[in-house]
Amino acid sequence: MSRSNDYIPFGVRRLIAFRASYICEYCLLPEADSYIGYEVDHIISLKHGGSGIESNLAYSCPDCNCNKGSDLASIDWSTNQIVRFFNPRLDVWSEHFRLSSGFIESTTTIGKVTVSIFKFNNDERADERALYQSDN
């Protein structure tokens, strides 16, 4: 059953894509290099009380959006602490990650759990990112 705030109007989708420069705000892969259209992600999912307002929306590749799902956080097993995921509306990407030859390295615990759950460094995704990085 659809709720009234499930639907994101086309104009808002276009704004979110433009704001992100048509690049996944999580893993930095550009939509132009994808065969599958990118998605607008609810950073805080509707089932957790999030909404469709622009400050809760991020531009996401299908891989990141699927791997994240409606999750908000994960467990850092080295400390047994629950750690929230990277939030592109609150966090600065370069403060949590470093990009090297297509490989995304975490520099914080937020980065660490995000890299793990979102599977940023699966072979195909890291290879795509390396190719894009070498072209630019």
pLDDT in tens, 17-35: 999 999 999 999 999 877 8
Residues 6+ apart with CB under 8 A from 91: 110
Q: What is the mean pLDDT of residues 122-132?
A: 81
Strand 39-42, strand 103-106: pairing: unpaired
Distances (CA, A) of 101 to 65, 93, 120, 133: 23, 17, 13, 7
CA 136, CA 119: separation in Å to the nearest integer?
A: 23
First-to-final CA distance of the chain = 44
pLDDT in tens, 92-109: 999 999 998 889 999 999
Q: Are 31 and 39 in contact (CB under 8 A)?
A: no
Which of the four pLDDT bands, split at 50, 70 and 90, describes residue 134? low
Residue among 49, 52, 95, 45 at smallest CA distance from 73: 45
Residue among 118, 106, 38, 113 at smallest CA distance from 79: 113
